[in-house]
Chain A
Amino acid sequence: MRRGDESDEKKVLEAFFSEEEAAGFGELESLIASAKPEFGKKWEERLLETLKRKERRNLFYLRALAAAFLLIASLTASLFFFNRGFTEKPAVPAAVSSELVAELVANFDGNFDPGMEEMFAAAEEKLAAGSAHMDSYIEDVVGGDDENDIS
């Protein structure tokens, strides 16, 4: 039937609902119904197995994906913290320590003698001064955060 041909459609529907036509179709309808194909159970069993197998495969992929994600996340986190450990160390004032070491080396003649005690006392004084300097340096730079307190 042509689309939009409403009068034709109306006639068809009227005819369809007429008892005469409906009675004529009854026998044919029962013939069509009896020609309904049936299938064996074998195919249905195969279908069930396939549906279950697909599900198992889906779960496998899902688990593999989750494992890969966790691995990448843990690697990224490790790298991040490892890198942070290097970059966020408080910088030691190099001038103080290098001066001190240079003086100690210069005064050390290779022998332990009574004069050594004086030398070490002097070194301790210098270290204390250096430590105080470092404290103030850290306070200036870092702001006196407990976490970074090295004293």
Chain B
Amino acid sequence: MNLAGDMEDVKKWLQAVRDREEQALRELIDLYAAPLRRFIHGIVRNPHDSEDLAQEAFLRFLNHPQDFADLKQLRNYLFQIAHNLAITKVTSAPSRREENVEEFPEVRMEEGSTARLERLEREKEVKELLYALPPQQRKVVILKNWEDLTFREIGEVLGLAEGTVKAHYFFALRKMKKSLGEKGDKEHDGATGR
């Protein structure tokens, strides 16, 4: 299917999804499964819950299919379902939430050079800082940097004004930058023996 296709293409494809044609379902999963799971994980911080909730989001969409003018609308709608499910999960069962940052079980850690290991370490640090952000800021950063949503689209998904989304983003990045800087300074001090 052509991602930038016209409305007719999208309609036909959505009909195929409604008819549960395997190819269409596969394309739906290819497009949105990983983004939904990442987003949900950013909220619930539990790999098993994020799998279950992403699956539930798809089932809800398939059981109540709607018409969308383009794929962006569909994506935002799926994110909205995922957001509602994740929020319900977090508020209904807070004790099951895992506060620590976990690696996703299916992420493959390939053997690599020192540079690659350093990069992985840096990514891990960034992920830790990201998951330590307040929930709204975290959601905004994830949707902006991992899923390439615009501030306006993020506002639609989270039910916030565009300006509020921008403010959350700004504070989140400022906080992360400061934390990374402090960490870097400490490491530098440690290395020079100060």
Q: What residues of chain A have their CB less than 8 Å away from a CB belonging to chain B? A: 1, 9, 12-13, 15-16, 21, 24-25, 28-29, 31-40, 42-44, 47-48, 50-52, 54-55, 58
Do A47 and B41 have beta carbons less than 8 Å apart?
no
Residues of B within 8 A of A50 (CB): 55
Complex alpha-carbon distance, A44 and B146, angstroms: 19
Among A13, A15, A43, chain B packs the most CB atoms within 10 A around the CB of A43
**Complex contacts, A16 vs chain B, CB 8 Å:** 166-167, 169-170
In this complex, the interface size class of chain B, counting residues with CB under 8 Å from chain A, is 35 or more
Smallest beta-carbon distance A42→chain B, Å: 6
Can you add 6 more A-B contacts, CB < 8 Å, to A44-B30, A55-B20?
A13-B163, A29-B173, A32-B176, A39-B104, A50-B55, A54-B59
Given A35-B126, A36-B38, A39-B106, CB of A47 within 8 Å of CB of B58: yes
Q: Chain B residues with Cβ under 8 A from A52's Cβ?
A: 20, 22, 25
B-side interface mostly: helix
Let me know if B130 and A9 touch, CB within 8 A. no
A81 to B108, CA, bound (A): 70
Interface of A is mostly: helix
7 smallest CB-CB distances across A and B, nearest first, come from A40-B106, A35-B123, A32-B145, A16-B170, A35-B126, A36-B146, A55-B20
What separation, in Å, do the CA atoms of A37 and B177 have in the docked complex?
A: 20
Question: In the complex, what residues of A have CB within 8 A of residue B25's CB?
Answer: 48, 51-52
Q: Is the CB of A39 within 8 A of B167?
A: no
Show 7 residue pairs from A and B whose CB-CB distance is below 8 angstroms, ordered by the A residue. A1-B171, A15-B170, A35-B126, A38-B107, A40-B108, A43-B37, A51-B55
